[in-house]
């Protein structure tokens, strides 16, 4: 059988052999795997009625479709799988405890606090931190390192609980999206005076999707009008039935502000963990876990808070976290005190990494420095490749709508830089969740902690990305470079603002800014009364020109008497005219507005769209 051709290009044809492709691969990646010309794959897609450029990253379905058409079996490899394979090539297994049952020891539950905005998540985390410093270490000032551990007494036993210090489900979900399971139990905070709100339900759904048991903290019971019973009723509809109503969810009424019932809440967490989870880990093996927060510190270099999930992490260990690696130079606990080792469920601040890992990146201790470096380098290379594979054309938020309408791009590329990996991850996941319909996709080409650099601008130029700086600015010559190359760099310090603006741009609704421009002023010389039209102002135009159908305000003795008036009628002698210029006389009718007097001034203006900076 002859190989089919389109427009003279020979189409590649396989024999059903398997081709493994990374998620988000481009036609060029595919072509490379089968030794074909990328252009021929573009031709195949065109044949199938889809316009795809060679370097654009395409969906799983498109890759499958292409494979079917050319008789290859396509196997899509997720980033997690790829990483697992990478580690396997070093004979490392991530995520499983070594040894059998007897090697496992119980470990504290790790908790994330979620709920609707303003329902008291932050306040609760503060209250818990303040009231339950681990015994014997009281007096130590707790540091914000991204997580902390507290102790509580349950049935006469001292039990520890680890709290992730970033409230909300965004960070939780960002980590989960990267395959990291950070949380064992979710505390769902619901304000008793406000009841179940949209983000309450969202948080609940995220926890359920992750198969994480929920303890409900009914907060603000000190506030007048608080109705904890109503909250219980409302949540029943979402499958959370309180124990006292025969369900299996523990509800605890608290006041984060007054520190009321915090202990009962902690007890409920422990009891829920005991009842529904088997939290055990091997403390004896090389440490593994996840990075939950990281930033660059001027004096100390890369600083990362990691949560040990199994094994024990020790000073001097060689570790790799995401694409960062290094020897643990020192470790600090949540009280800012140096520690030598950290066991399962313990969060510690680690010094000594080469750079900043992302929130949700896994970490593991390896035997040799060389292995750590190789794993980190391979991961970094993979990220870079993925970023460059996704290059498309340059674009700014303002003309996005136009470009989209013209069908020129199907995705908005973003580069996100921020002050801490937690905020970067949270922003990224929220942006990726924006639902703006079929036509456009958001893709984050690169994310990182630190200032916007020249290399970020480089990447943005090459791939028409927009750069977002969250609580960071452009460093060195990056700002000039962006300006010169026309790269759109946007700075934000509030996540919601960034999300709103990007969403608005995606929907083509980025509102133009208007400014008022004065057109002309007219002095009233005489007032004529007309039975049909009401009062007519006999005027002399003092400045500019007055046009019909423009907006006007009325000034008396320099004060504004009326706003938002309309020049409905404009006459010169007996004729209707559209405008009267400075120095001429005429008659103005302000429609229904009749409160005019001699010597009043009618000032007309229009709103003009302001060009954006
Ligand atoms: P978040 O957005 O869920 O983190 O909410 P915050 O912790 O920032 O709390 C929002 C507001 O509610 C703040 O002004 C808190 O002081 C207040 N607040 C939180 N918990 C309580 C409480 O138990 N009682 C009262 N009266 N106010 C509270």
The CATH number of whichever domain residue 188 belongs to comes to 3.40.50.300
Residues 378 and 422 placed together within one structural domain of the fold: no
pTM (predicted TM-score): 0.64
The atom of ligand 1 lying closest to the CA of 116 is: 3
The atom of ligand 1 lying closest to the CA of 254 is: 23
pLDDT at 358: 83
Residues 130 and 229 placed together within one structural domain of the fold: yes
pLDDT at 562 over 80: yes
Nearest CA to ligand 1 atom 9: 120
Mean pLDDT of 330-339: 92
Mean pLDDT of 452-480: 82
Q: Among 509, 533, 550, identify where a domain stops.
A: 509
Residues 113 and 239 placed together within one structural domain of the fold: yes
Cα-to-centroid distance, 124 and ligand 1 (Å): 8
pLDDT at 212: 93
The CATH number of whichever domain residue 442 belongs to comes to 3.40.50.10050
Nearest CA to ligand 1 atom 10: 118
pLDDT at 106: 95
Answer yes or no: are the C-beta atoms of 302 and 356 closer than 8 Å. yes
Which protein residues are within 6 Å of ligand 1, measured from CB? Answer: 115, 117-123, 167, 219-220, 222-223, 255-257
Write the CB contacts of 288 (distance below 8 Å, at least 6 apart in sequence): 94, 95, 308, 309, 310, 311, 362, 363, 364, 365
Q: Is residue 84 part of a domain?
A: no
pLDDT at 105: 95
pLDDT at 491 over 50: yes
Q: How far apart are CA 321 and CA 304, in angstroms?
A: 9
Cα-to-centroid distance, 491 and ligand 1 (Å): 28
Mean pLDDT of 211-239: 95
The pick from 116, 120, 188 for probing ligand 1's pocket by mutation, whose C-beta has the most ligand atoms within 8 angstroms, reads 120
Cα-to-centroid distance, 140 and ligand 1 (Å): 25
Confidence of residue 397 (pLDDT cuts 50, 70, 90): low
Q: Is residue 313 part of a domain?
A: yes
Answer yes or no: are the C-beta atoms of 39 and 54 closer than 8 Å. yes
Q: Among 325, 356, 385, identify where a domain stops.
A: 385
Residues 267 and 296 placed together within one structural domain of the fold: no
Least confident window among 160-169, 387-396, 461-470: 387-396
* 509 or 91: which leads in pLDDT: 91
pLDDT at 412: 79
Cα-to-centroid distance, 328 and ligand 1 (Å): 38
pLDDT at 392 over 60: no
pLDDT at 135: 44
The atom of ligand 1 lying closest to the CA of 219 is: 23
Q: How far apart are CA 572 and CA 440, in angstroms?
A: 54
pLDDT at 241: 95
Cα-to-centroid distance, 118 and ligand 1 (Å): 6
State the helix-helix crossing angle for 421-432 and 495-506, rounded to 10 degrees. 30
Answer yes or no: are the C-beta atoms of 168 and 114 closer than 8 Å. yes
Residues 473 and 347 placed together within one structural domain of the fold: no
Q: Is residue 528 part of a domain?
A: yes
Residues 554 and 586 placed together within one structural domain of the fold: yes
Q: Among 218, 247, 279, identify where a domain stops.
A: 279
Residues 246 and 128 placed together within one structural domain of the fold: yes
The domain tally of the chain equals: 5
The atom of ligand 1 lying closest to the CA of 260 is: 23
Answer yes or no: are the C-beta atoms of 290 and 175 closer than 8 Å. yes
Mean pLDDT of 389-409: 53
The pick from 199, 227, 256, 494 for probing ligand 1's pocket by mutation, whose C-beta has the most ligand atoms within 8 angstroms, reads 256
Backbone angles phi, psi at 144, to 5 degrees: -80, 100
Kindly write down the DSSP assignment for every residue of 479-535, as one continuous string.
Answer: HHHHHHHT--EEEES-HHHHHHHHHHHHTT--PPEEEEEEEEEEEEEEEEEETTTEE
The atom of ligand 1 lying closest to the CA of 125 is: 7
Cα-to-centroid distance, 497 and ligand 1 (Å): 21
For the chain, the average pLDDT equals 85
Residues 378 and 336 placed together within one structural domain of the fold: yes
Nearest CA to ligand 1 atom 17: 120
Cα-to-centroid distance, 216 and ligand 1 (Å): 16
Most confident of the following: 76-85, 285-294, 448-457: 285-294
Cα-to-centroid distance, 422 and ligand 1 (Å): 22
| CA 567 from centre of chain | 48
Residues 269 and 239 placed together within one structural domain of the fold: yes
Answer yes or no: are the C-beta atoms of 335 and 138 closer than 8 Å. no
Mean pLDDT of 35-58: 82
Nearest CA to ligand 1 atom 19: 120
Q: How far apart are CA 558 and CA 554, in angstroms?
A: 9
Nearest to 324 by CA among 389, 371, 380, 271: 380
The pick from 113, 115, 118 for probing ligand 1's pocket by mutation, whose C-beta has the most ligand atoms within 8 angstroms, reads 118
The atom of ligand 1 lying closest to the CA of 119 is: 3
| DSSP bridge pairs for 149 | 162
Q: Is residue 149 part of a domain?
A: yes
pLDDT at 606: 84
Q: Is residue 394 part of a domain?
A: no
Q: How far apart are CA 606 and CA 520, in angstroms?
A: 10
Residues 246 and 159 placed together within one structural domain of the fold: yes
pLDDT at 391: 40
Q: Is residue 502 part of a domain?
A: yes
pLDDT at 283: 96
Mean pLDDT of 232-236: 95
pLDDT at 136: 44
Mean pLDDT of 500-505: 81
pLDDT at 612: 44
Residues 310 and 216 placed together within one structural domain of the fold: no
State the helix-helix crossing angle for 262-276 and 121-131, rounded to 10 degrees. 90
Confidence of residue 394 (pLDDT cuts 50, 70, 90): very low
Cα-to-centroid distance, 222 and ligand 1 (Å): 11
Residues 379 and 417 placed together within one structural domain of the fold: no
pLDDT at 62 over 80: yes
Q: Which domain holds residue 596?
A: 513-610
Most confident of the following: 17-21, 265-269, 549-553: 265-269
Maximum C-alpha span of the chain: 105
Token pair in block for residue 588: 């103005």
Annotated binding-site members for GTP: 115-122, 165-169, 219-222
The residue whose two tokens read 């570790």 is 319
pLDDT at 540 over 90: yes
pLDDT at 447: 83
Q: Is residue 171 part of a domain?
A: yes
The pick from 199, 257, 261, 262 for probing ligand 1's pocket by mutation, whose C-beta has the most ligand atoms within 8 angstroms, reads 257
pLDDT at 250: 97
The CATH number of whichever domain residue 311 belongs to comes to 2.40.30.10
The atom of ligand 1 lying closest to the CA of 167 is: 4
Nearest CA to ligand 1 atom 22: 220
Cα-to-centroid distance, 119 and ligand 1 (Å): 6
pLDDT tens, position by position, 114-124: 999 899 999 99
Q: Is residue 87 part of a domain?
A: no
pLDDT tens, position by position, 135-160: 444 444 556 788 999 999 999 999 99
């Amino acid at each position: 059988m002859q190989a089919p051709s389109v427009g003279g290009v020979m189409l590649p044809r396989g024999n059903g052999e398997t081709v493994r492709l990374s998620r988000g691969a481009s036609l060029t990646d595919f072509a490379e795997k089968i030794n074909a010309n990328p252009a021929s794959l573009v031709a195949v897609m065109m044949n199938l009625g889809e316009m795809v450029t060679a370097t654009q990253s395409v969906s799983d379905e498109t890759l499958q479709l292409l494979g079917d058409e050319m008789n290859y079996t396509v196997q899509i490899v997720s980033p997690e799988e790829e990483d697992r394979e990478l580690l396997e090539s070093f004979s490392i297994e991530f995520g499983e405890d070594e040894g059998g049952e007897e090697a496992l020891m119980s470990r504290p539950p790790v908790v994330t606090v979620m709920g609707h905005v303003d329902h008291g998540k932050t306040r609760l985390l503060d209250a818990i931190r303040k009231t339950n410093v681990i015994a014997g270490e009281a007096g130590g000032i707790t540091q914000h390192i991204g997580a902390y551990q507290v102790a509580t007494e349950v049935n006469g036993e001292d039990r520890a609980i680890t709290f992730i210090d970033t409230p909300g489900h965004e960070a939780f979900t960002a980590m989960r999206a990267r395959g990291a399971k950070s949380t064992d139990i979710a505390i769902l905070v619901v304000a008793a005076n406000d009841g179940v709100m949209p983000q309450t339900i969202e948080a609940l759904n995220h926890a359920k999707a992750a198969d994480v048991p929920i303890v409900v903290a009914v907060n603000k019971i000190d506030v007048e009008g608080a109705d904890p019973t109503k909250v219980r009723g409302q949540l029943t509809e979402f499958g959370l039935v309180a124990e006292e109503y025969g369900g299996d969810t523990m509800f605890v009424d608290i006041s984060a502000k007054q520190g009321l019932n915090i202990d009962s809440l902690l007890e409920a967490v422990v009891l829920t963990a005991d009842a529904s989870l088997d939290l055990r880990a091997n403390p004896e093996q090389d440490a593994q876990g996840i990075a939950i927060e990281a930033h660059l510190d001027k004096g100390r270099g890369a600083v990362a808070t990691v949560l040990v999930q199994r094994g024990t992490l020790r000073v001097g260990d060689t570790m790799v976290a995401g694409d960062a690696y290094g020897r643990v130079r020192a470790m600090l606990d949540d009280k800012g005190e140096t520690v030598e080792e950290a066991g399962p469920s313990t969060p510690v601040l680690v010094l000594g990494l080469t750079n900043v890992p992302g929130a949700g990146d896994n970490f593991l201790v390896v035997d040799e420095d060389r292995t750590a470096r190789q794993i980190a380098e391979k991961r970094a290379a993979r990220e870079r490749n993925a970023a460059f594979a996704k290059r498309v054309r340059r674009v700014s938020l303002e003309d996005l709508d136009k470009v989209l309408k013209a069908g020129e791009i199907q995705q908005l590329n973003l580069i996100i830089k921020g002050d801490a990996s937690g905020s970067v991850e949270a922003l990224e996941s929220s942006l990726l969740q924006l639902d703006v319909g079929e036509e456009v996709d958001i893709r984050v080409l690169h994310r990182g902690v630190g200032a916007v650099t020249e290399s970020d601008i480089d990447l943005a130029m090459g791939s028409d990305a927009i750069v977002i700086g969250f609580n960071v600015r452009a460093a060195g010559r990056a700002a000039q470079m962006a300006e010169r190359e026309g790269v759109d760099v946007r700075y934000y310090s509030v996540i919601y603002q960034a999300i709103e603006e990007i969403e608005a741009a995606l929907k083509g609704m980025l509102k133009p800014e208007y400014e008022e421009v004065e057109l002309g002023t007219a002095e009233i010389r005489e007032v004529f009364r007309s039975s049909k039209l009401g009062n007519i102002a006999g005027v002399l135009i003092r400045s500019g020109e007055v046009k019909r159908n423009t907006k006007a305000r009325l000034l008396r003795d320099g004060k504004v008497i009326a706003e938002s008036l309309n020049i409905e009628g404009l006459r010169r002698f007996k004729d209707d005219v559209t405008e009267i210029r400075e120095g001429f006389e005429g008659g103005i009718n302000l429609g229904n507005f009749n409160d005019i007097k001699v010597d009043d001034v009618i000032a007309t203006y229009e709103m003009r769209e302001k060009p954006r900076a």
